[in-house]
Amino acid sequence: MFSVRIHGRGGQGAVTAAELLSVAAFDEGRHAQAFPTFGSERTGAPVVAFCRIDDRPIRLREPVMDPDAVVVQDPTLLHQVALFAGLSPEGYLVVNTSAPLERLGLAELVEQLPDGHVVAVPATEIARVHLGRPLPNAALLGALAALTGEVSLDSVCDAIRDRFPGHVGDDNASAATAAYEHVRTAAVGPARA
């Protein structure tokens, strides 16, 4: 089973990202589930969403405590919450930032994870270019697909277009594709997809 924990703030699309990731996996013939947990339901409040992907039925229903991948939608959460608790020693990390991860105080974590398992992606900037709005979730899904190879970019884009028909879906799929290419160009991930 491959488990993902997405940390963001209300309004950034963390819950939607988990749902889209599960749909992309399901469309590839795999079993998947997605669900959120959050406190106060308001824009800007911390939100955590989870996704599990497996080739067999998934019977677990509790939050993901030991993720294989962590996606950080908002770098302001980095030192406020225990974002990396339980992250597998072989895990993956995707952070929405244009700053070097060392500057964000993550040098030790980066050194602990395998080479090619960590990437910083300017997802908010990519979203502004493709959507005209700072919604990083689709871009981060493209980056996660490139980094881990757990789902294909095509499946991510199909899930996005199914959820958001018309130009909104096309623009989000373009953001996912741009982030996927950003990661591939950085040569940090295996991207089996």
What pLDDT sits at residue 39? 57
Q: Which residue bears the tokens 């160009």?
A: 185
What pLDDT sits at residue 140? 97
Every domain of the chain and the residues it spans: 2-186
First to last CA, the chain: 18
pLDDT tier at 190, thresholds 50, 70, 90: very low
Q: Which residue, 121, 116, 174, is CA-closest to 149?
A: 116
Q: Which tokens hold the place of 114?
A: 């395998």
Q: What is the pLDDT of residues 3-18, one digit of tens each?
A: 999 999 888 889 999 9
Q: What is the pLDDT of residues 44-72, one digit of tens each?
A: 778 899 999 999 999 988 889 999 999 99
What pLDDT sits at residue 37? 80
Q: What is the pLDDT of residues 71-124, one digit of tens each?
A: 999 998 988 778 898 999 999 999 999 998 889 989 998 999 999 999 999 999
CATH class given for the domain over 2-186: alpha beta
